[in-house]
A = this chain, B = another copy of it.
Amino acid sequence: MLTGLFIGRFQPLHYGHIEGIKFALKDINLLIIIVGSAQASHDLRNPFTAGERIEMIRNTLIKIDEIDINRILIIPVPDTNVHALWTYSLDLLVPRYDIVFTNDPFTIILYKERRIKISQPTLYYRKKFTGTLIRNAMIREGNWKQLLHPETTKVIEEISGIERLKKIWAKSREQQD
């Protein structure tokens, strides 16, 4: 039995992530989805709490036929003050694993220095599906809904996520005291 980590911040979960998860599930038995920067929320790059992101991920994946929710664990992992300890800190929070799915260059450096196996999922329409573009579309009232699964959109609406993000953005533009 093979276990893999799929690492992301999921601010918010989008179709790029979902394709990556499908890709990873092909080769392994159990996929542990790491919700990174779990301590962060209510800022421009991280508007949603880890709990809200977990709710998006679970509610969405359970509705996708090709994905077997039984083969998925979702674990929130906070950042560490000492960056170089992050992968060791993560190891204490998750079951044993064989491979790491990530495209983040910094995470890749850290795992390479530990000689752990890495797989970089092909990026799915990278020009459209990045958290930054989607959060900007939310602020500008652009067409963000077509980039997210309806179950993810539903969670965002229930928690008044767009209103929150707009206020965070307004604050970042203000003259600071």
Contact = CB atoms under 8 A, between A and B. Distances in A.
A119 B174 CA distance: 19
Determine how many copies of this chain the complex contains. Answer: 6
Nearest to A75: B76
A168 B110 CA distance: 11
A9 B82 contact: no
B42 A106 contact: yes
Interface residues on A, range: 35 or more
A54 interface: yes
Interface of A: 8-9, 11, 38-43, 45, 49-52, 54-55, 58, 62, 69-70, 73-76, 81-85, 88-89, 91-96, 104-106, 108-110, 113, 130-132, 164, 167-168, 170-171, 174-177
14 contacts: A11-B177, A40-B82, A41-B92, A49-B92, A50-B93, A54-B73, A54-B75, A73-B74, A75-B75, A84-B92, A105-B168, A105-B170, A105-B174, A132-B177
